[in-house]
Structure 1
Amino acid sequence: MTQRRQLQALFFTRFANAFGIVTLLTLLPTYIDLLDPQGFVLGMFATGLTLAQAGTVVPVSYLGDRFDKRTILLAGLALATAVYGLFPLVGSSWGFVFVRGLQGVAATVAGLLGLALVGQLARESERGNTIGMSNSWRFAAAIGGSLSAGVLYDTFGFDAVFGLLMAISGLAFLGVLVWVDPDETTTDGFAFTDLALNRRILTITSFRAQYAVAVTLVRTWVPIFAGVAAARGGLGYNAAVHGATAVAVVLAAEKFTNMLAQPYTGRLSDEFGRARFVFVGGLCYGLVALVVPFTPAIGSALGLPSVFPYFGNLSPAFLPLVALNGLLGVADSIREPASMALFADEGSDSGVASSFGVRDLVWRPGAVLAPLAGGWLTTNVGMEWVFYLGAASAFTGVAAFLGILTVRHGRAGLAAW
């Protein structure tokens, strides 16, 4: 098959994977209201997914570089299709955590190996742009997933939502089976260890490990902040006539701006280097996250409406929250393709799956611990402190990144690579 056809099939794989993840994220406040988890269990609603992903990264990375990535990717897509058939059967908090864990296994296989094949097929001089295009498909799915989840759930309930997810995952399976060539770029040994000690990868992970806390907290708690009852620190949009759809609109704003910007910012990183895009994107993300808790005050100060057509009674914070989540998407679009292209650059000769596996694994501690901290802060201190912690983590991450580059390359460190 041609490179273009293979990339298109892999782009759709990333679409299917993201569609399922964001659909569950959109419905998270609905499940919280239905199942009423508290404290630790509330944190596990997000951490069940990330714990499973963390435990899957290393074996999937090894198997992907040692054997045929395409075959293992097909297995992950088949598992995802089956898992979405289990969600309508969930009736308890721990049942939800368990099925989310299975979703995490399937998502890691599909996401990691789909991305590895994209990075492997892309030309080095166009890698940031190609990965940015791949991410645009992922964010298009995130928009479709969030909007369809809200509309379908409000109209038909859970069965329609998960029926759609099964169909999309099944189509991705067929696309890879028909259009993607078997992968013959296998490696001997355990490339994961060598890449984990790679100097550039160590530098970027100094940022990424902390930034994971920021993104996990903010992305998880924006829909929670929008959807849960005001008595629990949120804006209570789920109480509106079409509350799940209102939450979906908030989520879609971040995905839409990210989708539009990533091919462009990825191309810029191909031309001007990776490091400065990582730094600026991380800094902007922290600044915007810091403002999110102030959206009610911003809406009131600007005299914005609290009642909207179709949605009903929301709050003056609705439009500011949509706008700020859109800005979070712009900020992350500056960072993400540059960061991902860097990992692909470093792994292109010795094991691209392992390179992305290192990238994924470094993310996991923050992604596992952050929701637990967020659940504790929400229950015991106040939901606004979740966003303050997220912003602080972004700031410390970019400070560490800048510091290491400056020590190694001098004042022009951000321009070094």
Structure 2
Amino acid sequence: MTGKRGGLAALLAGFFVLLLDTTIVAVASPAIQRELKPGVAGLFWVTAGYLLAFSVPLLVFGRLGDRFDPKRVYLCGMAGFGVASVLCSLAPSTGWLIAFRVLQGLAAAAMAPQPLTLIRRLFAEDERGRALGIWGSVAAAGTLLGPVAGGVLTAALDWRWIFWVNVPLCAVALVLGLLLIPGSPGRATPFDVVGAVTSTAGLSLLVWALLTWQPLSLVAAVVAVVLLAAFHRRERGHGEEALAPLALFRSRDYTRASLAMAALGATVLAMALPTMLYVQDVRGFGALEGAAVMAPDALVAMVLSPRAGRWADRVGPRRPAVLGLVLLTASLLMVGLVVVLHLAPWWVAAGAAVLGAANSFAWAPLSATALAAVEPALAGAASGVFNTVRQVGAVAGVAVTGAILAGLGARPTAAFGVVFGLLTLTAAAGTVAAARLPRTPARVSQWRSRRWPRCPVGLRRRPAARAGPWS
């Protein structure tokens, strides 16, 4: 298997490991608590530490991919992820486990922005929807298998095996990547160290404030805003060499795709916690039954994602993306009505199936639009910003959901109603952004951009090269 299919297979192998590990840890949390005896805060930071380290440096690693070649940065992240997994499996205490999970998060952040850049290199513009659809199908498989594998490994062996299982998977993905992913010499451009420090510190404080909601969180949020404002001011003077080039957002397509993806990230992850609390704590389902209720999400996404990607290639991004965001709004409304009106809980499974269809139709066109809106020289920065917007949106969604549930804990029906109402409004806002995406397929958009070359320098679309996997 060579060429672009082999390169995509290598990228999918690494992405599958990442998704598997993200979902596998939650199932083992009770076993970790029994052995290491962390407090509630310690157990929280086993997951939150990974999420913090994963979310914050995406901008930096996206730009490093432009400078040193996304293949190299991706493979270094994969190797680091395997080493961190070994360390997690050997952790003697909660503190060490949290520290090693942070290392895992950093390695995952190095990997995450690179695949979009590499997919742009491998596939012509009118083929990327199909590739990203396959990507979505593998993401759904990892999400579905993670809890199952976590439960089996924890029950049959030990919770430490949820990390040991990553090692052979990382080794296979690393070998495939070395052999099948095309490389490039990178670009010898200056790296904005001050911007990297400012953005990392600002995003760290912001994500920490969103995750913790402690008395100091407000102070941290204010300092984060000041640092990010300073970062924005600095970036204005660096043009295309900036860590997060502001020219990216001169592209309306890129901005709208990013806003719609932020809405998708904020709602999909945030709905999981209240849904599981409802079916288990209120309706008395066991953990296995709770997982079965949400399983249609991943199953539908596995089936529909490749087809949705091919449809986006044919008709352009607007219709599939709008359909996906409309289905997302409908799924949140369905599950919210079940929770508030105490309908039969198995109706949640129907909502989960609609959610799987929503993910299938929205993911590929939004990602493909963001890829098509920028020049190759800015692909790494664009991917880093796009992933950061999605991830910070997800953190914000989870944080706000947790705060509402905690604040209205004495009135669970009201809490669930407020949560799902807010998430439904967020999804509806994403639908508005998606409705402004390009209506036409990629090749028509390219023709228009050649006739009216008013797009800012660095964002002008070029005809897709069809010569081979280096296009």
- Interval of TM-score (by shorter of Structure 1 and Structure 2): 0.7 to 0.9
Shift of 1:324: 2.3
Selected match of 2:355 from 310, 323, 328: 328
- The code of the aligned residue for 1:328 comes to L
1:342 aligns with 2:369: yes
Deviates more, 1:155-164 or 1:246-255: 246-255
Q: 1:96 & 1:251 partners in 2: Cα distance? A: 29
Shift of 1:262: 0.9
Equivalent runs, 1:139-158 vs 2, <5 Å: 139-158=140-159
Selected match of 2:420 from 376, 383, 387: 387
Give 1:267's aligned residue: 310
- The code of the aligned residue for 1:323 comes to A
Q: 1:372 & 1:42 partners in 2: Cα distance? A: 16
Q: 1:223 & 1:95 partners in 2: Cα distance? A: 29
Give 1:415's aligned residue: 439
Q: 1:32 & 1:251 partners in 2: Cα distance? A: 25
Give 2:40's aligned residue: 37
Would you say the 8 A contact 2:262–2:390 is kept in 1?
yes
Would you say the 8 A contact 1:43–1:373 is kept in 2?
no
Give 1:214's aligned residue: 267
- 1:200-229 deviation digits (Å, cap 9, x = unpaired): 2122233333443212312455445555xx
Shift of 1:301: 5.6
Would you say the 8 A contact 1:214–1:286 is kept in 2?
no
Q: 2:350 & 2:148 partners in 1: Cα distance? A: 17
Give 1:408's aligned residue: none
Q: 1:355 & 1:29 partners in 2: Cα distance? A: 39
Selected match of 1:195 from 223, 248, 256: 248
Question: Taking structure 1 as the reference length, what is the TM-score of the superposition?
Answer: 0.79
Would you say the 8 A contact 1:26–1:251 is kept in 2?
no
Would you say the 8 A contact 1:209–1:363 is kept in 2?
yes
Question: Taking structure 2 as the reference length, what is the TM-score of the superposition?
Answer: 0.71
- 1:280-308 deviation digits (Å, cap 9, x = unpaired): 2112212212332554788x866xxxxxx
Tell me the secondary structure at the aligned position of residue 182 of structure 1: coil
Tell me the secondary structure at the aligned position of residue 168 of structure 1: helix
C-alpha change, 1:377 and 1:63, in structure 2 (3 Å) is: same
Would you say the 8 A contact 1:84–1:162 is kept in 2?
yes
- The code of the aligned residue for 2:57 comes to T
- The code of the aligned residue for 1:275 comes to R
Shift of 1:134: 2.1
Would you say the 8 A contact 2:81–2:104 is kept in 1?
yes
Shift of 1:390: 2.0
Q: State the structure with more CA Rg.
A: 2
Would you say the 8 A contact 1:119–1:344 is kept in 2?
yes
1:372 aligns with 2:399: yes
- The code of the aligned residue for 2:114 comes to L
Deviates more, 1:336-345 or 1:362-371: 362-371
Give 1:309's aligned residue: none
Give 2:128's aligned residue: 127
- The code of the aligned residue for 2:69 comes to D
Equivalent runs, 1:204-283 vs 2, <5 Å: 204-223=257-276, 225-226=278-279, 230=281, 235=283, 237=285, 240=286, 243=287, 245-283=288-326
Shift of 1:9: 1.3
Q: Of the two structures, which has the highest relative contact order with CA contacts closer than 8 Å and spacing of 6 or more?
A: 1
Q: 2:157 & 2:279 partners in 1: Cα distance? A: 22
- The code of the aligned residue for 2:127 comes to E
Deviates more, 1:385-394 or 1:254-263: 385-394
Aligned pair count reads: 379
Shift of 1:97: 5.2
Would you say the 8 A contact 1:207–1:397 is kept in 2?
yes
Q: 1:53 & 1:257 partners in 2: Cα distance? A: 27
Deviates more, 1:268-277 or 1:332-341: 268-277
Q: 2:439 & 2:407 partners in 1: Cα distance? A: 43
Q: 2:27 & 2:290 partners in 1: Cα distance? A: 7
Give 2:204's aligned residue: none
Give 1:362's aligned residue: 389
Q: 1:347 & 1:246 partners in 2: Cα distance? A: 45
- The code of the aligned residue for 2:257 comes to I
Q: 2:32 & 2:257 partners in 1: Cα distance? A: 36
Identity of aligned residues (%): 21
C-alpha change, 1:361 and 1:196, in structure 2 (3 Å) is: farther
Tell me the secondary structure at the aligned position of residue 271 of structure 2: helix
C-alpha change, 1:130 and 1:210, in structure 2 (3 Å) is: closer
Give 2:432's aligned residue: 399
Shift of 1:379: 2.0
Q: 1:293 & 1:98 partners in 2: Cα distance? A: 37
Shift of 1:389: 2.6
Q: 1:327 & 1:218 partners in 2: Cα distance? A: 13
